[in-house]
């Protein structure tokens, strides 16, 4: 792999251990995927922020990097942590809080933005055709498919290294020839809501692996529904990008058909119980946009959250600050708008949550394993009908 003189000096350790180790991570990765050079990125987004999934050894590596003066050279944002300090902090043991706060402190020392969200594009939208090094799979698919930016699905360490070097190896989704569609998906049924877009993603992810589909036949498309589709595609497959409702310009490609029955079966499989009174109803995987919070507040209709059920809406601090009136409405009904956290990488078992109802296919897919919870998968409207009384 070709390195500039400056990059070589970094590799040889002239700019300190933190830069050297990060350069070595990127060069190793580049060599593995036959990249010929490094290219500048406009932002990095790091996953692996929650202490629950990170554990102690990676946290020590972060501490060493920060101590050795590692500094982000580009805008660098962070995925959610394991709890919302305001609502859940005091319900968790002190040692968990301390370990988590220490991780955040190291990132902040290195100049990372305390975004703590999986939707960094709501804070600052990357430009079309800009190169990124993002590690959150749902955000990667959204960036490539909806925003028109270019990013591979980074792992935690490579996104971290890219943030500190300000560059990424030029391979995969950074190259135009790898962004061509190579399979056609014909959806033969009308999708009625965001949950069905999620179910489609779960179904297709298993079939497509790392292919790039053109998905035809989608009706009533919105950015929120595409966000659910992309998050779910990346949950069961290695899909990093999709096109929708467009035509392939030339060449024959493989074609698959999706029928109503495929989605019905997938949706049913995402529920592990028919529990009518879940411990938690959760909306916000991926994190909610301002529009979604506005919609939820409207649907609450001044009703009250049922006793014995928690209602969480997850988003970033950035969006919550801009949603003040809607937040008040949701809270008045007994719900919580939580920030900075992801339910899947949170300590729900410690909080006594055994059943989770959600409109997110990604959460429904992971919660039985990662949260040891039963799941009920349903569209937003149905989640609210279950949550509210009066």
Residues that bind ligand F3S (CB under 6 A): 79-80, 118, 136, 138, 231, 285-287, 342, 344, 362-363
Q: How far is C-alpha 151 from the geometric centre of its chain's CA atoms?
A: 14
Q: Exposed, middle or buried, 350 (CB in 10 Å: 0-12/13-18/19+)?
A: middle
* Sheet strands (E) in 229-297: 243-244, 254-258, 280-283
In whole angstroms, the minimum distance from the beta carbon of 177 to ligand F3S comes to 29
Cβ atoms of 235 and 137 within 8 Å: the answer is: yes
Token representation of residue 102:
């220490």
3-state secondary structure at position 277: coil
Query: Closer to ligand F3S at the Cβ: 191 or 344?
Result: 344
Query: Closer to ligand F3S at the Cβ: 136 or 374?
Result: 136
Query: Closer to ligand F3S at the Cβ: 118 or 373?
Result: 118
Query: Closer to ligand F3S at the Cβ: 174 or 227?
Result: 227
Nearest Cα residue to 202 out of 230, 179, 223: 230
Query: Closer to ligand F3S at the Cβ: 96 or 253?
Result: 96
Query: Closer to ligand F3S at the Cβ: 82 or 266?
Result: 82
**Spatial distance between the Cα atoms of 242 and 265, rounded to a whole number of angstroms:** 23
Query: Closer to ligand F3S at the Cβ: 152 or 371?
Result: 371
Query: Closer to ligand F3S at the Cβ: 10 or 346?
Result: 346
In whole angstroms, the minimum distance from the beta carbon of 161 to ligand F3S comes to 20
In whole angstroms, the minimum distance from the beta carbon of 235 to ligand F3S comes to 8
In whole angstroms, the minimum distance from the beta carbon of 16 to ligand F3S comes to 31
Query: What residues contact residue 324 under an 8 Å CB cut-off, 6+ apart?
Result: none
Beta bridge mates, 304: 389
Helix axes 361-370, 194-208, angle to 10 degrees: 70
DSSP string, 284-349: -SSPPPHHHHHHHHHHHTT-EEPTT-EEEEEE-HHHHHTTHHHHHHHHHTT-EEEESB-STTS-TT
In whole angstroms, the minimum distance from the beta carbon of 94 to ligand F3S comes to 24
Query: Closer to ligand F3S at the Cβ: 19 or 360?
Result: 360
Which secondary structure element, helix H or strand E, spans residue 215, and what is its range? strand 213-216
In whole angstroms, the minimum distance from the beta carbon of 117 to ligand F3S comes to 8
Token representation of residue 88:
């859940």
């Amino acid at each position: 792999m070709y390195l500039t003189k400056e990059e070589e000096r970094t590799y040889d350790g002239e700019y300190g251990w933190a830069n050297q180790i990060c350069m070595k991570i990127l060069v190793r990765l580049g060599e593995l995927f036959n990249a010929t050079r490094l290219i500048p990125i406009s932002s990095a987004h790091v996953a692996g922020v929650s202490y629950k999934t990170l554990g102690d050894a990676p946290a020590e590596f972060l501490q060493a990097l920060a101590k050795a003066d590692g500094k982000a050279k580009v805008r660098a944002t962070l995925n959610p942590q394991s709890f919302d300090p305001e609502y859940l902090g005091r319900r968790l043991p002190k040692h968990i809080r301390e370990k988590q706060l220490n991780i955040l402190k190291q990132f902040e020392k290195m100049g990372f933005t305390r975004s703590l969200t999986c939707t960094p594009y709501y804070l600052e939208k990357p430009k079309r055709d800009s190169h990124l090094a993002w590690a959150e799979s749902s955000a990667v698919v959204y960036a490539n498919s909806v925003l028109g930016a270019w990013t591979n699905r980074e792992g935690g360490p490579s996104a971290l290294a890219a943030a500190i070097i300000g560059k990424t190896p030029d391979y995969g989704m950074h190259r135009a020839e790898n962004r061509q569609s190579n399979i056609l998906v014909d959806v033969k049924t009308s999708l009625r809501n965001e949950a069905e877009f999620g179910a489609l993603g779960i179904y297709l992810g298993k079939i497509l692996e790392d292919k790039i589909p053109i998905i035809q036949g989608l009706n009533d498309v919105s950015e929120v529904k595409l966000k659910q589709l992309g998050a779910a595609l990346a949950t069961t497959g290695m899909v990093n990008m999709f096109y929708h409702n467009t035509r392939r310009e030339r060449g024959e490609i493989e074609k698959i058909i999706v029928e109503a029955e495929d989605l019905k079966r997938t949706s049913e499989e995402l529920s592990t119980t028919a529990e009518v009174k879940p411990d938690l109803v959760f909306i916000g995987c991926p994190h909610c946009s301002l529009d979604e919070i506005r919609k939820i507040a409207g649907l609450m209709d001044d009703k009250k959250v049922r006793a014995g059920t928690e209602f969480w809406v997850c988003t970033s601090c950035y969006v919550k600050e801009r949603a003040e009136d809607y937040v008040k409405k949701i809270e008045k009904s007994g719900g919580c708008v939580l920030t900075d956290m992801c339910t899947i990488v949170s300590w729900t078992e410690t909080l006594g949550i055994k059943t989770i109802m959600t409109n997110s296919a990604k959460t429904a897919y992971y919660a039985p394993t990662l949260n040891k919870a039963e799941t009920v998968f349903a569209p937003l409207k149905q989640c609210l009908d279950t949550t509210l009384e009066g």
